[in-house]
Amino acid sequence: MSRFFLRTMALVPLCCTFALGIAKSPKNVIFMIGDGMGLGTIYAAMTVNGGSLNIEKCTHTGFSKTYSANDYTTDSAAGGTALACGVKTKNGMVGMSPDSLPVNSVLAESAAKGKATGLVVTCSVTHATPASFVAHQDNRSKDEEIAADFLKCPPDVFIGGGLKYFTKRDDDQNLLNALEKKGYVVAKSMEDVRKVNSGKLAGLLCNNHPEKVKHGREYDLTEAVMKSVDILKNDEDGFFLMVEGSQIDWGGHANSESYTISEMLDFDKAIGAVLDFAQKDGNTLVVITADHETGGVTVIDGDYSKEDVNVRFNTMKHTGVMVPVFAFGPGAENFSGIMQNIDIPKKIRVLSGIK
Ligand code: MG
Ligand code: ZN
Protein backbone atom coordinates (compact mmCIF):
# COMPACT_ATOMS: atom_id res chain seq x y z
CA MET A 1 0.00 0.00 0.00
CA SER A 2 1.49 3.36 -0.98
CA ARG A 3 1.91 6.17 1.47
CA PHE A 4 -0.37 8.31 -0.69
CA PHE A 5 -3.20 5.79 -0.41
CA LEU A 6 -2.87 5.62 3.38
CA ARG A 7 -3.04 9.39 3.65
CA THR A 8 -6.14 9.46 1.43
CA MET A 9 -7.82 6.86 3.62
CA ALA A 10 -7.14 8.94 6.72
CA LEU A 11 -8.87 11.89 5.11
CA VAL A 12 -12.04 10.00 4.26
CA PRO A 13 -13.89 10.31 7.60
CA LEU A 14 -13.35 14.07 7.68
CA CYS A 15 -14.67 14.51 4.14
CA CYS A 16 -17.73 12.39 4.86
CA THR A 17 -18.65 14.37 7.96
CA PHE A 18 -18.41 17.58 6.01
CA ALA A 19 -20.48 16.24 3.12
CA LEU A 20 -23.16 14.96 5.52
CA GLY A 21 -23.32 18.37 7.19
CA ILE A 22 -24.14 20.00 3.87
CA ALA A 23 -26.69 17.37 2.89
CA LYS A 24 -28.62 17.82 6.13
CA SER A 25 -29.81 21.33 5.34
CA PRO A 26 -33.12 20.82 3.54
CA LYS A 27 -34.16 23.18 0.76
CA ASN A 28 -37.85 22.53 1.33
CA VAL A 29 -39.87 21.83 4.48
CA ILE A 30 -43.33 20.23 4.58
CA PHE A 31 -44.83 20.48 8.08
CA MET A 32 -47.90 18.28 8.53
CA ILE A 33 -50.18 18.63 11.56
CA GLY A 34 -52.86 16.11 12.41
CA ASP A 35 -55.13 18.10 14.71
CA GLY A 36 -55.87 15.90 17.73
CA MET A 37 -53.82 13.05 16.25
CA GLY A 38 -52.78 10.97 19.24
CA LEU A 39 -51.17 7.55 19.25
CA GLY A 40 -54.53 5.82 19.87
CA THR A 41 -56.05 7.38 16.76
CA ILE A 42 -53.00 6.51 14.66
CA TYR A 43 -53.05 2.91 15.85
CA ALA A 44 -56.82 2.56 15.35
CA ALA A 45 -56.43 3.78 11.75
CA MET A 46 -53.44 1.48 11.29
CA THR A 47 -55.55 -1.47 12.45
CA VAL A 48 -58.48 -0.83 10.12
CA ASN A 49 -55.95 -0.30 7.32
CA GLY A 50 -54.74 -3.89 7.76
CA GLY A 51 -51.84 -3.11 10.09
CA SER A 52 -49.86 -0.31 8.47
CA LEU A 53 -49.95 3.33 7.39
CA ASN A 54 -47.82 5.56 5.14
CA ILE A 55 -46.67 7.49 8.22
CA GLU A 56 -44.50 4.45 9.07
CA LYS A 57 -42.17 5.35 6.20
CA CYS A 58 -40.81 8.17 8.36
CA THR A 59 -37.33 7.27 9.53
CA HIS A 60 -37.29 9.09 12.87
CA THR A 61 -39.85 9.39 15.67
CA GLY A 62 -40.12 11.33 18.90
CA PHE A 63 -42.64 12.79 21.33
CA SER A 64 -43.82 16.33 21.92
CA LYS A 65 -45.06 17.86 25.18
CA THR A 66 -48.08 19.96 24.29
CA TYR A 67 -49.08 21.94 27.41
CA SER A 68 -49.74 25.65 26.87
CA ALA A 69 -48.63 28.75 28.80
CA ASN A 70 -51.73 28.71 31.00
CA ASP A 71 -53.14 25.19 30.80
CA TYR A 72 -52.03 21.58 31.28
CA THR A 73 -54.25 20.79 28.28
CA THR A 74 -53.70 23.02 25.26
CA ASP A 75 -56.30 24.10 22.73
CA SER A 76 -55.55 24.25 19.01
CA ALA A 77 -54.78 27.99 19.11
CA ALA A 78 -51.99 27.75 21.69
CA GLY A 79 -50.96 24.38 20.24
CA GLY A 80 -50.83 25.83 16.73
CA THR A 81 -48.91 28.90 17.89
CA ALA A 82 -46.35 26.67 19.64
CA LEU A 83 -45.81 24.65 16.44
CA ALA A 84 -45.89 27.67 14.11
CA CYS A 85 -43.96 30.26 16.11
CA GLY A 86 -42.04 28.39 18.81
CA VAL A 87 -43.82 30.21 21.63
CA LYS A 88 -46.06 28.73 24.33
CA THR A 89 -49.03 31.05 24.66
CA LYS A 90 -52.40 31.14 26.39
CA ASN A 91 -55.24 28.97 25.11
CA GLY A 92 -57.30 30.86 22.55
CA MET A 93 -54.48 33.06 21.20
CA VAL A 94 -53.06 32.73 17.68
CA GLY A 95 -49.63 34.07 16.64
CA MET A 96 -49.26 36.00 19.88
CA SER A 97 -47.18 35.70 23.03
CA PRO A 98 -49.01 35.41 26.40
CA ASP A 99 -48.64 39.20 26.82
CA SER A 100 -50.41 39.80 23.48
CA LEU A 101 -47.36 40.66 21.37
CA PRO A 102 -47.33 39.33 17.79
CA VAL A 103 -44.86 36.50 17.15
CA ASN A 104 -43.67 35.33 13.73
CA SER A 105 -44.24 31.87 12.34
CA VAL A 106 -41.77 29.71 10.42
CA LEU A 107 -44.04 30.30 7.41
CA ALA A 108 -43.63 34.09 7.64
CA GLU A 109 -39.89 33.73 8.25
CA SER A 110 -39.55 31.41 5.24
CA ALA A 111 -41.33 34.01 3.10
CA ALA A 112 -38.98 36.73 4.40
CA LYS A 113 -36.04 34.54 3.30
CA GLY A 114 -37.43 34.44 -0.23
CA LYS A 115 -38.91 30.96 -0.04
CA ALA A 116 -42.31 30.14 -1.50
CA THR A 117 -44.92 29.34 1.15
CA GLY A 118 -48.12 27.35 1.24
CA LEU A 119 -50.92 26.24 3.54
CA VAL A 120 -53.45 23.45 2.87
CA VAL A 121 -56.11 22.47 5.41
CA THR A 122 -59.43 20.63 5.73
CA CYS A 123 -61.15 23.40 7.71
CA SER A 124 -61.64 27.14 7.17
CA VAL A 125 -58.23 28.74 6.56
CA THR A 126 -59.15 31.12 9.42
CA HIS A 127 -59.42 28.26 11.95
CA ALA A 128 -56.96 28.09 14.86
CA THR A 129 -54.22 25.89 13.37
CA PRO A 130 -53.75 27.66 10.00
CA ALA A 131 -54.38 31.03 11.68
CA SER A 132 -51.38 30.41 13.94
CA PHE A 133 -49.10 30.42 10.88
CA VAL A 134 -50.50 33.64 9.36
CA ALA A 135 -52.43 35.77 11.85
CA HIS A 136 -51.89 37.60 15.14
CA GLN A 137 -55.07 37.70 17.21
CA ASP A 138 -55.80 37.40 20.93
CA ASN A 139 -58.89 35.30 20.23
CA ARG A 140 -59.17 32.44 17.76
CA SER A 141 -62.85 33.15 17.14
CA LYS A 142 -62.11 36.43 15.30
CA ASP A 143 -62.43 34.78 11.87
CA GLU A 144 -62.93 38.05 9.96
CA GLU A 145 -59.89 39.68 11.59
CA ILE A 146 -57.87 36.54 10.84
CA ALA A 147 -59.00 36.65 7.19
CA ALA A 148 -57.81 40.29 7.04
CA ASP A 149 -54.45 39.16 8.47
CA PHE A 150 -54.13 36.86 5.45
CA LEU A 151 -53.70 40.00 3.32
CA LYS A 152 -50.72 41.22 5.33
CA CYS A 153 -48.50 38.18 4.80
CA PRO A 154 -50.40 35.71 2.64
CA PRO A 155 -48.89 32.33 1.81
CA ASP A 156 -48.25 32.11 -1.97
CA VAL A 157 -50.66 29.19 -2.12
CA PHE A 158 -53.47 28.50 0.34
CA ILE A 159 -56.28 26.00 -0.02
CA GLY A 160 -59.12 25.31 2.40
CA GLY A 161 -62.54 26.63 3.39
CA GLY A 162 -63.59 29.97 4.86
CA LEU A 163 -64.68 31.94 1.78
CA LYS A 164 -67.41 33.81 3.70
CA TYR A 165 -64.88 35.42 6.06
CA PHE A 166 -63.32 37.08 2.98
CA THR A 167 -66.56 38.09 1.25
CA LYS A 168 -69.48 38.44 3.70
CA ARG A 169 -67.91 40.66 6.30
CA ASP A 170 -69.16 43.12 8.91
CA ASP A 171 -66.92 45.79 7.34
CA ASP A 172 -68.54 45.13 3.92
CA GLN A 173 -65.12 44.69 2.32
CA ASN A 174 -64.49 41.99 -0.24
CA LEU A 175 -60.99 40.75 0.53
CA LEU A 176 -60.88 38.75 -2.70
CA ASN A 177 -60.43 42.01 -4.63
CA ALA A 178 -57.39 42.85 -2.52
CA LEU A 179 -55.98 39.35 -3.07
CA GLU A 180 -56.45 39.70 -6.84
CA LYS A 181 -54.66 43.06 -6.71
CA LYS A 182 -51.75 41.23 -5.08
CA GLY A 183 -51.64 38.89 -8.06
CA TYR A 184 -53.61 35.96 -6.65
CA VAL A 185 -55.80 33.73 -8.73
CA VAL A 186 -58.86 33.13 -6.54
CA ALA A 187 -60.32 29.64 -7.00
CA LYS A 188 -63.67 28.63 -5.51
CA SER A 189 -63.63 25.01 -6.68
CA MET A 190 -61.08 22.25 -7.14
CA GLU A 191 -61.79 22.49 -10.86
CA ASP A 192 -60.47 26.07 -10.79
CA VAL A 193 -57.50 25.07 -8.61
CA ARG A 194 -56.48 22.49 -11.24
CA LYS A 195 -56.09 25.25 -13.86
CA VAL A 196 -53.35 27.01 -11.87
CA ASN A 197 -49.79 25.82 -12.44
CA SER A 198 -47.66 28.69 -11.15
CA GLY A 199 -47.85 31.99 -9.30
CA LYS A 200 -50.14 32.80 -6.39
CA LEU A 201 -53.29 30.87 -5.60
CA ALA A 202 -56.06 31.46 -3.04
CA GLY A 203 -58.26 28.36 -3.06
CA LEU A 204 -61.31 29.06 -0.89
CA LEU A 205 -63.37 26.02 -1.75
CA CYS A 206 -66.37 26.39 0.57
CA ASN A 207 -68.04 29.05 2.70
CA ASN A 208 -66.92 27.81 6.09
CA HIS A 209 -65.56 24.34 6.93
CA PRO A 210 -65.45 21.63 4.27
CA GLU A 211 -67.50 18.45 4.68
CA LYS A 212 -66.31 15.40 6.55
CA VAL A 213 -64.35 13.19 4.15
CA LYS A 214 -66.83 10.34 4.74
CA HIS A 215 -69.65 12.64 3.55
CA GLY A 216 -67.85 13.64 0.35
CA ARG A 217 -65.55 16.60 1.03
CA GLU A 218 -65.53 19.35 -1.62
CA TYR A 219 -61.89 18.59 -2.44
CA ASP A 220 -59.32 15.89 -1.95
CA LEU A 221 -56.61 16.83 0.58
CA THR A 222 -53.94 14.80 -1.24
CA GLU A 223 -54.70 16.44 -4.58
CA ALA A 224 -54.71 19.91 -2.99
CA VAL A 225 -51.38 19.24 -1.26
CA MET A 226 -49.66 17.88 -4.37
CA LYS A 227 -51.01 20.73 -6.51
CA SER A 228 -49.48 23.13 -3.97
CA VAL A 229 -46.15 21.29 -4.05
CA ASP A 230 -46.19 21.48 -7.87
CA ILE A 231 -46.60 25.25 -7.75
CA LEU A 232 -44.25 25.93 -4.82
CA LYS A 233 -41.35 23.80 -6.09
CA ASN A 234 -40.81 26.31 -8.92
CA ASP A 235 -39.12 28.65 -6.42
CA GLU A 236 -35.34 28.26 -6.61
CA ASP A 237 -35.00 29.30 -2.94
CA GLY A 238 -37.15 26.35 -1.85
CA PHE A 239 -40.49 26.32 -0.08
CA PHE A 240 -42.27 25.89 3.24
CA LEU A 241 -45.66 24.16 3.18
CA MET A 242 -47.97 23.56 6.14
CA VAL A 243 -50.61 20.84 5.77
CA GLU A 244 -53.32 20.14 8.34
CA GLY A 245 -55.57 17.12 8.74
CA SER A 246 -57.97 19.41 10.56
CA GLN A 247 -60.92 17.17 11.34
CA ILE A 248 -59.21 14.25 13.11
CA ASP A 249 -59.82 16.43 16.17
CA TRP A 250 -63.51 16.88 15.41
CA GLY A 251 -63.99 13.11 15.19
CA GLY A 252 -62.40 12.90 18.63
CA HIS A 253 -64.66 15.61 20.07
CA ALA A 254 -67.67 13.76 18.64
CA ASN A 255 -66.35 10.49 20.13
CA SER A 256 -66.98 9.04 16.67
CA GLU A 257 -64.73 6.16 15.75
CA SER A 258 -65.66 6.31 12.05
CA TYR A 259 -65.22 10.11 11.87
CA THR A 260 -61.81 10.27 13.51
CA ILE A 261 -60.44 7.16 11.74
CA SER A 262 -61.66 8.23 8.27
CA GLU A 263 -60.04 11.66 8.75
CA MET A 264 -56.82 9.97 9.95
CA LEU A 265 -56.77 7.73 6.86
CA ASP A 266 -57.40 10.77 4.63
CA PHE A 267 -54.47 12.58 6.27
CA ASP A 268 -52.28 9.48 5.92
CA LYS A 269 -53.03 9.35 2.19
CA ALA A 270 -51.63 12.89 1.89
CA ILE A 271 -48.65 11.81 4.02
CA GLY A 272 -47.97 8.99 1.55
CA ALA A 273 -47.91 11.37 -1.43
CA VAL A 274 -45.72 13.87 0.43
CA LEU A 275 -43.21 11.19 1.49
CA ASP A 276 -43.05 9.89 -2.11
CA PHE A 277 -42.25 13.42 -3.28
CA ALA A 278 -39.67 13.92 -0.52
CA GLN A 279 -37.98 10.62 -1.32
CA LYS A 280 -37.66 11.47 -5.02
CA ASP A 281 -36.66 15.08 -4.31
CA GLY A 282 -34.03 14.21 -1.69
CA ASN A 283 -33.91 17.81 -0.46
CA THR A 284 -37.20 18.05 1.45
CA LEU A 285 -37.62 17.64 5.20
CA VAL A 286 -41.04 16.31 6.25
CA VAL A 287 -42.13 16.73 9.88
CA ILE A 288 -45.45 15.29 11.04
CA THR A 289 -46.99 15.81 14.47
CA ALA A 290 -50.15 16.83 16.34
CA ASP A 291 -51.02 19.94 18.34
CA HIS A 292 -52.53 17.72 21.08
CA GLU A 293 -54.45 14.48 21.57
CA THR A 294 -58.26 14.53 21.40
CA GLY A 295 -60.75 12.14 22.98
CA GLY A 296 -58.37 10.10 25.15
CA VAL A 297 -58.53 7.43 22.47
CA THR A 298 -57.75 3.93 23.71
CA VAL A 299 -57.48 0.91 21.43
CA ILE A 300 -59.06 -1.95 23.39
CA ASP A 301 -58.85 -4.66 20.76
CA GLY A 302 -58.61 -5.17 17.02
CA ASP A 303 -58.25 -7.58 14.12
CA TYR A 304 -55.90 -6.71 11.24
CA SER A 305 -57.29 -9.35 8.89
CA LYS A 306 -60.89 -8.23 9.46
CA GLU A 307 -59.74 -4.57 9.46
CA ASP A 308 -61.71 -4.11 12.62
CA VAL A 309 -60.90 -2.15 15.78
CA ASN A 310 -62.51 -1.55 19.14
CA VAL A 311 -61.89 2.01 20.31
CA ARG A 312 -62.87 3.63 23.59
CA PHE A 313 -63.03 7.39 24.06
CA ASN A 314 -62.36 8.73 27.55
CA THR A 315 -63.34 12.36 27.12
CA MET A 316 -65.03 14.68 24.61
CA LYS A 317 -62.17 17.13 25.10
CA HIS A 318 -58.43 17.32 24.46
CA THR A 319 -56.00 15.50 26.72
CA GLY A 320 -52.56 16.54 27.97
CA VAL A 321 -50.64 13.42 26.93
CA MET A 322 -47.52 13.71 24.73
CA VAL A 323 -48.11 13.33 20.99
CA PRO A 324 -45.84 11.57 18.50
CA VAL A 325 -43.46 13.36 16.11
CA PHE A 326 -42.38 11.77 12.81
CA ALA A 327 -39.69 12.98 10.42
CA PHE A 328 -38.24 12.09 7.04
CA GLY A 329 -35.55 13.61 4.86
CA PRO A 330 -32.48 15.79 5.47
CA GLY A 331 -32.29 16.66 9.18
CA ALA A 332 -34.94 14.10 10.26
CA GLU A 333 -32.62 12.72 12.96
CA ASN A 334 -33.11 15.96 14.93
CA PHE A 335 -36.72 15.03 15.69
CA SER A 336 -36.15 11.94 17.83
CA GLY A 337 -36.45 11.81 21.60
CA ILE A 338 -38.77 13.79 23.85
CA MET A 339 -39.09 17.48 23.01
CA GLN A 340 -41.28 20.49 23.72
CA ASN A 341 -43.80 21.42 21.00
CA ILE A 342 -42.00 24.78 20.66
CA ASP A 343 -38.72 22.97 19.86
CA ILE A 344 -40.17 21.72 16.57
CA PRO A 345 -40.29 25.11 14.75
CA LYS A 346 -37.01 26.07 16.42
CA LYS A 347 -35.38 23.00 14.85
CA ILE A 348 -37.00 23.80 11.49
CA ARG A 349 -35.60 27.36 11.69
CA VAL A 350 -32.05 26.16 12.28
CA LEU A 351 -32.16 23.33 9.74
CA SER A 352 -33.65 25.35 6.89
CA GLY A 353 -31.50 28.38 7.69
CA ILE A 354 -34.40 30.83 7.98
CA LYS A 355 -33.23 32.27 11.30
MG1 MG B 1 -56.85 22.63 13.70
ZN1 ZN C 1 -60.18 20.23 19.40
Annotated catalytic residue: which of 64, 76, 262, 352? 76
pLDDT tens for residues 196-252?
Answer: 999 999 999 999 999 999 999 999 999 999 999 999 999 999 999 999 999 999 999
Q: How far is the CA of 243 from the centre of ligand 1 (A)?
A: 10
| Cα distance between residue 220 and residue 155, in whole Å | 20
pTM: 0.93
Q: Which ligand is nearest to the CA of 293?
A: 2
Pick the ligand that lies closest to the CA of residue 75. 2
**Residue 76 designated active-site:** yes
Question: Does position 188 have pLDDT exceeding 90, yes or no?
Answer: yes
Find the ligand nearest to 128 CA.
Answer: 1
Q: Residue ranges per domain, the chain?
A: 28-152+237-352
Query: What was the pLDDT predicted at 25?
Result: 87
Ligand 1 centroid to 80 CA: how many Å?
A: 7
Distance from the CA of 34 to the center of ligand 1, in angstroms? 8
60-65 vs 323-328, strand pairing mode: antiparallel
| Mean pLDDT, residues 250-274 taken together | 98
Q: How many CB atoms lie within 10 A of CB 59?
A: 15
Three-state DSSP at 325 gives strand
Q: How would you classify the pairing of strands 184-187 and 200-204?
A: parallel
- What pLDDT score was predicted for residue 175? 98
**Of the options 3.40.720.10, 3.30.460.10, 3.40.630.30, 3.40.190.80, the CATH number for the domain spanning 28-152+237-352:** 3.40.720.10
Does residue 59 surpass a pLDDT of 80? yes
Rounded distance from Cα 92 to ligand 1 centre (Å): 12
- The ligand that comes nearest to the alpha carbon of residue 140 is 1
Give the Å distance between the CA of 250 and the centre of ligand 2.
6
Is the backbone of residue 112 left (phi > 0), alpha (psi -120 to 50) or beta? alpha
Q: Is the pLDDT of residue 4 over 80?
A: no
Residue of 264, 268, 255 lying closest to 311 (CA atoms)? 255
Give distance in angstroms: CA of 124 to centre of ligand 1. 9
How far apart are the CA of 49 and the centre of ligand 1, in A?
24
